[in-house]
Amino acid sequence: MKISCVILTMGNRTAELDRAVTSALTQADADVEVVVVGNGADVPELTARPLPGSAAAVKTVRLPRNVGIPEGRNHGVQECTGDIVLFLDDDGWYADSAVAAHVRDRFAHEPDLAAISFRVMDPEGGSVQRRHVPRLRAGDPERSSPVTTFLGGACAIRKSAFLQVGGLPERFFYAHEETDLAWRLLGEGYRIEYDAQTVMYHPLVLPSRHADFYRLNARNRVWLARRNLPWLLAACYLLNWIVLTLVRERSATAIKAWFRGFAEGLREPAGDRRPMAWRTAWRMLRLGRPPIV
């Protein structure tokens, strides 16, 4: 199976991007095609080179404006020739050279496997943030398990399954786009796995550093529910997140931005509505994460 790797960049992390591309090009026993998407920016000149004798290569694409993460990755997938697509953040890199071969072998032998979520580690201290383990019981990041979502910038996806469900929801721009994709994959009968053996390094940063984090987080939660959940579950899901936000957040500014985004999600079109079957919701419950959390 051929492997491609899509990396989005805003053109402002030249050294980090070069490191990310190098970690993909130098995978052992796997010639990785790297597609670098300049999201409204030129792709910096790269010094990364494949291993001698490798057929790995780099392709660059420049989008005329910043279209957001999901649409940018969709454009990247359109340029890929691989059967498996790795998504890698431009400030992340693979911990070792065996990741691609391990992923290829899993997809080759597990036809119902649609996506693998990687273990994301802080390169300084080796710690793993709870939010990077895509399950409720996140205390042991070294334990692999079936999951109901995955990490958008640290994953591998079967391209045919990705295209079958329509790819990432481009209107989301940022936040929860991989959960939307994951729920639709589960609805088609595929599996998603958190694989602790596949490790990506990423600096320890908080998602709230983004200026629109709270607004987009809330808006996209509403869109996620409107697009994918039966109305009863959608109401439970959104009520649950209202309560959790009020309990967790201490900043009045953050709460105000969150509810502004929530209202935006109710008011604006969410896109194609394809509510999951109740059997899919039951399957998610059995996996430990019902679609109300």
Q: Are 81 and 2 in contact (CB under 8 A)?
A: yes
**Predicted pLDDT of residue 177:** 98
Q: Which residue has the higher pLDDT, 20 or 136?
A: 20
Q: How far is CA 10 from CA 63, 93, 126, 257, in A?
A: 10, 17, 27, 25
Q: How far apart are CA 228 and CA 183, in angstroms?
A: 7
**pLDDT confidence band for 208 (50 / 70 / 90):** low
Confidence grade of residue 204 (pLDDT, cut at 50, 70, 90): confident
pTM of the model: 0.95
* Best CA proximity match to 218, nearest among 251, 250, 180, 176: 176
Burial of 66 per CB tally in 10 Å (0-12, 13-18, 19+): middle
- Of 55, 61, 58, nearest to 46 by C-alpha is 58
Per-residue model confidence as pLDDT tens digits over 49-59: 998 889 899 99
- Whole-number Å distance between alpha carbons of 111 and 77: 20
In the CATH scheme, what architecture does the domain 3-205 have? Answer: Alpha-Beta Complex (3.90)
| DSSP three-state, residue 6 | strand
Ranges of each domain in the chain = 3-205, 208-286
- Give the span between the Cα atoms of 271 and 136, in whole angstroms: 28
Which one, of 26, 49, 48, 46, lies nearest residue 38 by Cα? 46
**The predicted structure's pLDDT at residue 126:** 74
